[in-house]
């Protein structure tokens, strides 16, 4: 994380209702010089970067979580109010297609006596929605600069920067809430005209996917086809790009290196790993240059790319809040509300952002349930990719069995926690955004950000994991541990004692851990049990740290206890049944 | 009539909002307050959320909260 004070003395805050395009404007204003230190949480957190301010001056721009008012009604509002204390100028981003509600926050900001400039965003959408706004008139009524902008195309952004210097401290009379609405009504009467407009295809789709009768089947189809698409793209990338690259180019190189190093010895084993039938095998040779590169780049990366591509499209289309609405009543049975699917969906990509999204949950109870369920029953894409690759060769039904078991655990566990824990699940209250056609450039940009984040974080961890594996093998620690844990592994789950090595590496990286099962020669039953237990028993280190921060130490200990217990019980049951 | 009892596709005026001050203020800052016209889009079974149109925006409101919104045709 960069120092929050870098980038000049002036602090410009970007504030507005949720989902009005603040972040798009943020990236427009900061341009290439973005120093995004994404503070955790999708809405409850902020990013900052540098922007031009007036003639040659540099100011720090802070992206504040979206709020509807300044009253500490939610955690996001508390954060926003704390930040408001530190800001010099506020850019109030306003959704031009929804002026009345958005202006409420504008009036509240004005009253605070902080210089405000209004960015009338989504300007491009007003025309086809039959909304006509007289910007000059609105500016006169508000008494502060107003600039029409479109974050996506960049229209108006330059003008916005120019007019920032015009913002000044002004005294406005304080109005109570009723009078604010009255004031807004008067302003809009003279500056906005609404015409009736014909419904577009996207708008018709909005209603269809909101009503439960049609919305639920649509949700099922969307989820189903998303997964089909993810697997299709990922397997395509693996079979036609990554595997050929590794086999045709990297394999001969590694083979030469292996014979150069004499085919064994400590250096050879560290870099290449053990040979299988005298040959380098990327799945079973656990060297830094073999499995260390093959696992993150060839086995996992394709799934990361395809998952985040599909997720990005669904996010930008605006489907996720609708999915959350559809599942709200079901989630209540698990002690959560609809929005809790967000940490779960993000967790499918990587449990770390999933754990960060726990901040969206307002109550401690809900955080605990959502965090525990995610850590136990939501495997990350890296782990899923490895399970599909390893268990898939024994038959698709076994892959389905593992995920079926995890899903059952998810439902049963949530149901029990909801009954056992005191309190009840909170009510939802959120805005459902209109559908917007995803813009390919924006999708690709977001995909690139997420993929490079994966590469930057996963590859070093995988290499570290492989290094650990080798050190633990060479020093004999694995051997020692496997004898200690043999009764548990064997008695409870019918697993050979060598699986302890995978269990230990699983604390670091789940994908490497699943990969380590390959050379052990397990039966299909053992594979299913080992993969399921690996998914349930504990989150990886990175997830653990974020969860600890979100849940606090007491809840984290309880949660971890539940994970171990569930792993023991579920693994034991599978051992009895299969 | 309560918002939960209203048929879908009906446009009504909010008469009163029952509940805690916090909840009233949250609803109000999202544009749901007495005197405002709303159109119900859907309600979900099993005490699921109610979705409605307020101005040009669409909202999802939990069943309990929606029950506290008294409307008039």
Domain locations in chain A as residue ranges? 11-194, 210-577
| CB within 8 Å: A328 and B60 | yes
Q: Which of B31, B51, B63 sits opposite A100 (nearest CB)?
A: B31
Which residues in A191-333 belong to E strands, given as ranges? 192-194
Residue ranges of domains in chain B: 11-72
Count residue pairs from A and B with Cβ separation < 8 A.
102
Q: What is the pTM of this model?
A: 0.89
Q: Is B37 on the interface with A (CB under 8 A)?
A: no
The structure tokens 């967000």 sit at A342
Secondary structure (DSSP) of B7-50: PTT-EEEEEEE-S-HHHHHHHHHTT--TT-EEEEEEE-TTT--E
pLDDT single digits (tens) A424-481 = 877 888 888 888 888 888 888 889 988 998 899 888 989 999 998 899 988 999 999 9
Q: What is the pLDDT of residue A46?
A: 55
What pLDDT, in 10s, does the model give residues B21-34?
Answer: 888 999 999 999 99
Closest CA to A231 of A307, A298, A345: A307
Residue A118: closest CA among A134, A95, A97: A95
The yes-or-no verdict on residue A156 having pLDDT over 50 is: yes
Q: Which residues of A touch B52 (CB under 8 A)?
A: none
In order of A302, A379, A388, B44, the CA distances from A235 in angstroms are 7, 18, 10, 38
Q: What are the residues whose beta carbons fall under 8 Å from the beta carbon of A448, sequence distance 6 or more?
A: none
Predicted confidence band at A523 (pLDDT cuts at 50, 70, 90)? very high
For residue A250, name the pLDDT band (cuts at 50, 70, 90): very high
Q: Pick from A74, A104, A431: which is nearest to B57 by CB?
A: A431
> Which pairs count as long-range contacts for A204-209, CB under 8 Å and 24+ apart, including other chains?
A205/A435, A206/A322, A206/A432, A206/A434, A206/A435, A206/B58, A207/B41, A209/A319, A209/A322
pLDDT at A101 over 50: yes
ipTM, two decimals: 0.93
The predicted structure's pLDDT at residue B59 = 92
Please report the pLDDT score of residue A2 as a whole number.
Answer: 38
> Are the beta carbons of A490 and A497 closer than 8 angstroms?
yes
The reply to whether residue A101 touches residue B57, judged by beta carbons under 8 angstroms, is yes
Read off the pLDDT of residues A297-313 as tens digits, 9 standing for 90 and up.
999 999 999 999 999 89
For residue A39, name the pLDDT band (cuts at 50, 70, 90). very low
Instruction: Write out chain A residues lying below 8 Å of B44, CB-based.
Output: 212, 325-326, 328-329
Question: Which CATH number does the domain B11-72 belong to among 2.40.50.140, 2.40.40.20, 3.90.76.10, 2.30.30.90?
Answer: 2.30.30.90
DSSP letter for A150, please. B
Q: Right CATH number for A11-194 from 3.40.50.2300, 3.40.50.920, 3.40.50.150, 3.40.50.300?
A: 3.40.50.300
In order of A95, A348, A388, A528, the CA distances from A396 in angstroms are 48, 19, 8, 12
In angstroms, the Cα distances linking A11 to A48, A55, A61, A470 are 10, 16, 6, 50
The pLDDT of residue A139:
96
Q: What is the pLDDT of residues A43-100, one digit of tens each?
A: 444 577 888 887 778 899 988 888 999 987 777 788 889 989 989 999 999 999 999 9
Interatomic CA distance for residues A244 and A249, integer angstroms: 8
Q: Is the dihedral of CA A70, A72, A73, A75 positive or negative?
A: positive
């Amino acid at each position: 994380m960069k120092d929050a004070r870098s980038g000049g003395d002036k602090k410009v805050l970007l504030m507005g209702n949720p989902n009005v395009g603040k972040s798009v404007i943020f990236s427009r204003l900061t341009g290439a010089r973005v120093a995004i230190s994404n503070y955790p949480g999708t809405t409850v957190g902020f990013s900052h970067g540098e922007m031009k301010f007036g003639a040659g001056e540099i100011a720090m721009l802070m992206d504040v979580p979206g709020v509807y008012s300044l009253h500490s009604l939610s955690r996001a509002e508390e954060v926003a109010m704390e930040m408001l204390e530190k800001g010099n100028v506020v850019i109030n981003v306003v959704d031009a297609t929804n002026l009345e509600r958005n202006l409420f926050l504008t009036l509240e900001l004005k009253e605070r006596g902080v210089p405000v400039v209004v960015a009338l965003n989504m300007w491009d959408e007003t025309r086809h929605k039959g909304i006509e706004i007289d910007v000059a008139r609105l500016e006169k009524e508000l008494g502060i600069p107003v600039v029409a902008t479109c974050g996506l195309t960049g229209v108006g952004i330059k003008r916005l920067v120019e007019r920032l210097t015009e913002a000044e401290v002004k005294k406005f009379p304080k109005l109570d809430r009723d009078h604010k609405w009255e004031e807004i009504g008067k302003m809009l009467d003279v500056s906005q005209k609404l015409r009736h407009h014909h419904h577009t295809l996207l708008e018709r789709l909005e209603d269809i996917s909101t009503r439960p009768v049609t919305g639920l089947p649509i949700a099922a189809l969307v989820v189903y086809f998303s997964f089909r698409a993810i697997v299709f793209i990922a397997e395509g990338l693996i079979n036609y790009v990554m595997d050929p690259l590794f086999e045709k180019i990297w394999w001969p190189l590694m083979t030469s290196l292996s014979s150069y190093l004499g085919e064994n010895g400590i250096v050879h084993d560290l870099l290449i790993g053990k040979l299988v039938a005298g040959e380098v095998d990327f799945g079973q040779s656990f060297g830094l240059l073999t499995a260390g590169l093959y696992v993150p780049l060839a086995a996992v990366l394709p799934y990361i790319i395809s998952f985040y591509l599909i997720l990005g499209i669904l996010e930008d289309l605006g489907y996720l809040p609708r999915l959350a609405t559809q599942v709200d009543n079901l989630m209540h049975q698990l002690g959560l509300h609809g929005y809790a699917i967000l940490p779960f969906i993000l967790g499918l990509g990587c449990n770390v952002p999933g754990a960060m999204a726990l901040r969206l949950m307002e109550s401690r109870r809900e955080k605990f349930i959502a965090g525990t369920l995610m850590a136990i029953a939501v495997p990350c894409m890296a782990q899923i990719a490895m399970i599909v690759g390893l268990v898939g060769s024994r038959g698709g039904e076994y892959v389905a069995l593992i995920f079926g078991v995890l899903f059952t655990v998810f439902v049963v566990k949530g149901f029990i926690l909801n009954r056992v824990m005191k309190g009840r699940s909170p009510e939802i209250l959120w805005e459902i955004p209109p559908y917007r056609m995803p813009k390919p450039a924006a999708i690709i940009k977001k995909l690139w950000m997420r993929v490079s984040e994966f590469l930057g974080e996963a590859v070093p961890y995988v290499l570290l994991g492989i290094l650990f594996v080798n050190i633990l093998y060479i020093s004999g620690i694995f051997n020692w541990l496997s004898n200690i844990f043999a009764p548990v592994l064997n008695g409870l789950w019918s697993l050979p004692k060598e699986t302890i090595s995978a269990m230990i590496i699983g604390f670091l990286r789940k994908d490497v851990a699943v990969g380590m099962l390959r050379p052990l020669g397990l039966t299909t039953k053992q594979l299913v049990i080992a993969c399921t237990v690996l998914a349930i028993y504990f989150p990886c280190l990175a997830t653990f740290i974020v969860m600890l921060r979100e849940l606090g130490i007491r809840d984290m200990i309880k949660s971890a206890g539940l994970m171990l217990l569930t792993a023991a019980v579920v693994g034991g049951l599978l051992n009895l049944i299969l | 009539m309560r918002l939960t009892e209203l048929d879908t596709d009906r446009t009504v005026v909010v008469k009163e909002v029952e509940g805690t001050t916090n909840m009233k203020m949250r609803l109000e800052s999202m544009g749901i307050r007495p005197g405002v016209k709303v159109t119900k889009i859907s309600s979900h079974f099993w005490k699921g959320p109610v979705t409605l149109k307020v101005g040009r925006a669409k909202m999802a409101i939990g069943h309990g909260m929606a029950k506290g919104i008294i409307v008039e045709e």
